[in-house]
Structure 1
Amino acid sequence: MDGDIARPNYNPFIRLDLRDNVVVARLPVAAGTAVPAEGVVTLQDVPAGHKIATRFIAKGEAVRKYDTVIGFASEDLAPGTWMHSHNILFDAVEKDYAYSRDYRPTEFVPQPGRATFQGIRRADGRVGTRNYIGVFALGAAGATAARRIAAYFTPDRLEAFLMVDGVAPFAHEGGDGMERGGEPMALLRRTIGGTLRNPNTAAALVIASAAEVNDLEGFLAGQGLERGPALRTLVIGEEGGLRRTVEAGIALVREMLPLADAVTRETVSAEHLTIGMQCGGSDGFSGLSANPALGVAMDILIRNSGTAILSETTEIFGVEHTLTARAVTPEVGRKLVERMDWWLRHSEGRDSQINGKVAPGNNAGGLANILEKSLGGSKKGGSTGLMAVYEYAEPVTAKGFVFMDTPGYDPVAATGQIAGGANMVIFTTGRGSCFGSLPAPTMKLASNTPMYERMEADMDVNCGTIIDGEETLEQAGRRIFERLLRHASGERTKSELAGVGTNEFVPWPIGVTA
């Protein structure tokens, strides 16, 4: 990399907008390095992904990246100064929600010319990208049984069922010691029920104890579910304990296997893809490469009549006005602001991300505060209109770009998206992540080449080519979209090959624990 700096005309910094007063280091840059493109010399060592001032910035003046305010100078700052959380103050930013001002209808690809993949069509017309039998625990008391039943069905025991991707446990820590009604129970039941109905779930076994608050009959009735060949139930107290429940569960799954196996993949339109977008372990490059490249890919998907779900409400704080301006109606935009206001009340006075500080890994990677992180994270949403805003785990029915209210914690956020109907997840990362998910598989994008090379066994796509100057955002976005079609057609992602996903079902534990 040092040789790159020595190359004639090589600029070790990236300028994102002509109106910015900072630029971002492509690689570690030593103090005293001349940057002719900006007419400055670095005054301190600058880590990769971090920023320098390109002109004098007065104390209190706005710091601008992508022509968006990411904070305010804590002191007078000379050109070439390393800019980070030590001299960029987090403070309230004046926002103009400009509801629907920038909305433009999407120009769709005509039906005959739309992209296709090899999907699994269900009886009701929905299309899956995978084919799992799920073993669902209604509460923590059923978690061990669910895990043991699923673990029994090893690849060797599924050899005869070529179309079944696996038997997956969906265990969690809730279901008891909680409010019996209201939002917490409705949210938990909606999450379990939505995952059970996900188009990637071919059949399901639901396990309850005899006494948990999330009782079996109440769950089934509340979710409009009826027992049948593809939906079986067990109550541990009635079966005679854990061992007998596991034995009975294995027998029931065996009965469902031929039913789940009786499917084929067929050519279907990309309009049947619903993508949950996630980011975790972000760095200073995430908002320059992986996130905007994913946004380009999702714009392509949406023009092909597919759906992309942006979430992690606390991680769009400070830039939510850029989304409300793209809302199809003012009502959609106002719903997003209402969810943000809920989070601000919920987090008031607490040491949480929405109140300024980002996680230590994000900070080390070059993100000074939540405003800067939000700026990069929101770029996953591409450029099309915001068509709907959903609460956590609500069924996503709108086509196009939508938003789902979730926490920023990746497993909780992705769980809500999958419960809402996402049949694939795409996850961007700059610091590295080993995240995976079921029944919707996760495809991971690396923001920079060094991390991709270190963690190649976990990363599906390297977007560091953008930072390296080898590829444009548009080229990378097209490559991501084409890779998405391959994975949606059955090609295993790196997280699937690593066997990751059985521990990442994490419903949002909102509410009182008694």
Structure 2
Amino acid sequence: MNGEALAPVRPLVLRPDVDDVGLVLGDAPGGAPVMVGGTTVPAATDIPAGHKVAVRAVAAGQPVRRHGEVIGVALTGIRPGDHVHLHNLGPGQDHPGERGWSAPPAWSPPIAPTRDHFLGYRRPDGRGATRNYIAIVPTVNCSATVARMVAQAAQREHAGVPGLDGVIALAHDLGCGMAEGTPGDGLLRRTLHGYATHPNVVGAVVVSLGCEINQPGNALGDVADTTVTIQDVGGTAAAVRAALAQVAELVAEVRTLRREPVALAELTLGLQSGDGDAWSGITANPAVGVAADLLVAAGGGVILGETPALHGAGHLLRRRAATSGVAVRIEELLAWWREYAAREGAGPHGEPSREDRAGGITTLGEKSLAAVLKAGTAPVEHVVGYADPVTGAGLTLMDTPGHGSVSATGMVAGGATVLASVTGSGSLFGSRPTPCVRISTTTGLYQAMSGDIDFDGGRATARPEHVTHGRLLFEALVDTASGHPTTAEQLGFGAEEITPWRMGAVL
């Protein structure tokens, strides 16, 4: 450094009264002075930006706290100025199921909602929609190519029709080789039915091969009468022509539709984490939580999922359970995932992922505490299974895997009409027919990928900023629901991201 004094490193400590670690805002070289209380200590080693530095001593075997909660246990003695990560911080003891249940205190949002409606489409059954798509739904992977042919031809034929957001093929790789009547079979059928009847889908055309296990009548029920069966009509070319004729009828209906004011009670927001870093818990996620709270206060619905990533914060969700039954269901889901992971030769501490750890997240407890912040502070009103319909207002916990596209697929099938996806490294995701607002955890990421990210969540690093930027995000989500295109939509994302949860034996 040519004799120049190193500038003091001022770590960001969320709860100075109890937290043992803070986050460094930029790369901190070894020896740099680190502000700890009213004094400085030298950084023991180089500490990457977004990683943790100790602000107080922790003895080996003792808990380490961040966000005011335990994130793990010290593997060795930790001194102020030490880099705290995989080498000296290990997972702590899981929080056991809490005995009994007490109702959460009366809840109110951090501020009053600034909107009470969006400009959407009113469906005949009364539901509010944010987009108008026509879906081509293959029952099996064997009909996926024909479904894509139909969608591509229809897009060319009907491009520019006012109010039509697109014709999409919901291609997947399942539907045959599965044991009929098993949970995996049921998940696929529930998912496809949820997409075909989604509020953002004006109408669906089902494309069946004819001999698959996943027969349209079983899988899609009330929409099976739109089925084109390839083997029955005489092959690929005939099936494409028949399906395009049905699409033309649906396009005629779209021409009559106009946006109108729809109460926010008809809006359902799905919350996603594209990938994580240590910033998410202090910037984007708390801001998303404020936006979620505002939507709940306005009468809307919010879906939290990715159950494995919530394992280390299950005790916090149980405390927020609106009823004792909801608290029991939360514990049952967490127990199921522990058993499922063990049966598959994994465990809950398979998380965090490699990307998470590179970004500074060390333990599942730390990741979970950050993840649950996306859901704000509202009570957990409902718990539903994967791709189950979400019909109640307030916060719903949906049981989904941590894999982002699989989780989002379940939420869309359940009725999410807009998604919010937080990314720490630049994950690219879209999910037609539901628009997805991408949110960065840092301003640097937003600036580097401004053509891909919709909202800079990195500007919020303290509670007043969380509220301010959470309100701005809430308004951006309402604008998106009202037709403002997301970057993912402008770039054409979302046609290939449907990923039903694959479960059970393939026979």
Q: Does 1:309 align with 2:309?
A: no
Q: Does 1:474 align with 2:474?
A: no
Q: Indicate conservation of the 8 Å contact 2:95/2:314, yes or no.
A: no
More deviation, 301-310/344-353: 344-353
Q: What are the equivalent positions in structure 2 for 1:82-481 lying under 5 Å apart? A: 82-95=83-96, 97=98, 100-101=101-102, 103-107=104-108, 115-154=116-155, 157-159=157-159, 161-221=161-221, 224-225=222-223, 227=225, 232-348=226-342, 352=346, 354-467=348-461, 472-481=465-474
Q: Indicate conservation of the 8 Å contact 1:99/1:327, yes or no.
A: no
Cα deviation for residue 113 of structure 1 reads 8.3
Cα deviation for residue 257 of structure 1 reads 0.8
Which residue does 1:506 correspond to in 2? 499
Q: Indicate conservation of the 8 Å contact 1:282/1:430, yes or no.
A: yes
Question: CA separation in 2, counterparts of 1:177 and 1:96?
Answer: 39
Cα deviation for residue 93 of structure 1 reads 2.6
Cα deviation for residue 22 of structure 1 reads 0.7
More deviation, 450-459/37-46: 37-46
Deviation readout 1:357-397 (Å, 9 max, x if unpaired)? 42111110000021111111111010010000000000111
Q: Indicate conservation of the 8 Å contact 1:99/1:325, yes or no.
A: no
Secondary structure of the 1:485 match is helix
> In structure 2, do the counterparts of structure 1 residues 160 and 85 end up closer, same or farther at CA, with 3 Å as the change threshold?
closer
Which residue does 2:485 correspond to in 1? 492
Q: Indicate conservation of the 8 Å contact 1:20/1:64, yes or no.
A: yes
Q: Does 1:16 align with 2:10?
A: no
Q: Indicate conservation of the 8 Å contact 2:113/2:295, yes or no.
A: no
Question: CA separation in 2, counterparts of 1:67 and 1:404?
Answer: 26
Q: Indicate conservation of the 8 Å contact 1:390/1:403, yes or no.
A: yes
Cα deviation for residue 157 of structure 1 reads 3.1
Question: CA separation in 2, counterparts of 1:443 and 1:432?
Answer: 13
**Between the two proteins, what is the percent identity of the paired residues?**
35
Cα deviation for residue 108 of structure 1 reads 8.3
* Residue type of the alignment partner of 1:200: N
Q: Indicate conservation of the 8 Å contact 1:108/1:305, yes or no.
A: no
Cα deviation for residue 60 of structure 1 reads 0.5
Matched length = 499
Q: Indicate conservation of the 8 Å contact 2:103/2:323, yes or no.
A: no
Deviation readout 1:10-39 (Å, 9 max, x if unpaired)? 753110112011111112111112223433
Question: CA separation in 2, counterparts of 1:397 and 1:214?
Answer: 26
Q: Indicate conservation of the 8 Å contact 1:101/1:326, yes or no.
A: no
* Residue type of the alignment partner of 2:26: L
* Residue type of the alignment partner of 1:501: G
* Residue type of the alignment partner of 1:50: H
Question: CA separation in 2, counterparts of 1:115 and 1:414?
Answer: 26
Secondary structure of the 2:240 match is helix
Which residue does 1:51 correspond to in 2? 52
Question: CA separation in 1, counterparts of 2:126 and 2:165?
Answer: 20
Question: CA separation in 1, counterparts of 2:99 and 2:474?
Answer: 31
Question: CA separation in 2, counterparts of 1:354 and 1:290?
Answer: 24
Cα deviation for residue 290 of structure 1 reads 0.8
Cα deviation for residue 84 of structure 1 reads 0.5
Instruction: Give 4+ residue runs of structure 1 displaced > 6 Å after superposition.
Output: none
Question: CA separation in 1, counterparts of 2:328 and 2:268?
Answer: 24
CA RMSD of the aligned region, Å? 2.1
* Residue type of the alignment partner of 2:202: A
Secondary structure of the 2:70 match is strand
Structure 2 residue runs without a partner (length 5+): none
Which residue does 1:78 correspond to in 2? 79
Question: CA separation in 1, counterparts of 2:63 and 2:323?
Answer: 31
Q: Indicate conservation of the 8 Å contact 2:135/2:205, yes or no.
A: yes
* Residue type of the alignment partner of 1:57: V
Question: CA separation in 1, counterparts of 2:386 and 2:164?
Answer: 29
Deviation readout 1:449-469 (Å, 9 max, x if unpaired)? 1111111111000011124x7
More deviation, 260-269/375-384: 260-269
> In structure 2, do the counterparts of structure 1 residues 404 and 188 end up closer, same or farther at CA, with 3 Å as the change threshold?
same
Question: CA separation in 2, counterparts of 1:112 and 1:357?
Answer: 35
Question: CA separation in 1, counterparts of 2:206 and 2:191?
Answer: 13
Structure-1-length-normalised TM-score: 0.93
Q: Indicate conservation of the 8 Å contact 2:36/2:80, yes or no.
A: no
> In structure 2, do the counterparts of structure 1 residues 492 and 125 end up closer, same or farther at CA, with 3 Å as the change threshold?
same
Cα deviation for residue 106 of structure 1 reads 4.2
